[in-house]
Amino acid sequence: MNPIETIVLGGGCFWCIQAVFSDLPGIISVRSGYAGGYTDQPSYEDVCTGNTGHAEVVELQFDPIIISLEKILNTFFKSHDPTSINKQGNDTGTQYRSVILFTKDSQKPDIFQIIDKIQKRYTEPIVTEVVKLIKFYEAEPDHQQFFKKNPENSYCKYVIAPKLRK
């Protein structure tokens, strides 16, 4: 049996990140949620205030035999601007920050090694936070697989769809 690993990523709106990873081979599950803050049981409305410390994130469970952490992080960095502090497109605030929350201490050095490689593609420094996951809070059901359920939504058509084509 293959060991399943988990990593939590935030790079702007969780609808976008979830859509990017939902159909990649080796990704077993993708859940939208909140992490990295200090408020227990946050809601979408709470996180939107920017006062919870949480970011909009996705929890990825993956099979490292099929998809490597390096491929996941390369995809993650291509799907958002990791040089932008607390902002992705029109979404601004700490809840939209670029963040990688590792679940095993053994992931941490690999993450930094991958970021060092990826940094060579950018002229500005990568500002993505790398921290250990304390707690992941699953987002409300209407935020799960938002793009798949709402492809005609204007945000999906004009923000998510171009990211997927890229």
Catalytic residue among 13, 16, 48, 156: 13
Helix/strand/coil (H/E/C) assignment for every residue in the chain? CCCCEEEEEEECCHHHHHHHHCCCCCEEEEEEEEECCCCCCCCHHHHHCCCCCCEEEEEEEECCCCCCHHHHHHHHHHCCCCCCCCEECCEECHHHCEEEEECCCCHHHHHHHHHHHHHCCCCCCCCCEEEECCCEEECCHHHCCHHHHCCCCHHHHHHHHHHHHC
Residue 13 is a catalytic residue: yes
Amino acid identity of residue 36, one-letter, is: G
Whose CA is closest to 57, among 14, 88, 101, 111? Answer: 14
Q: Could you give the residue numbers annotated as active site?
A: 13
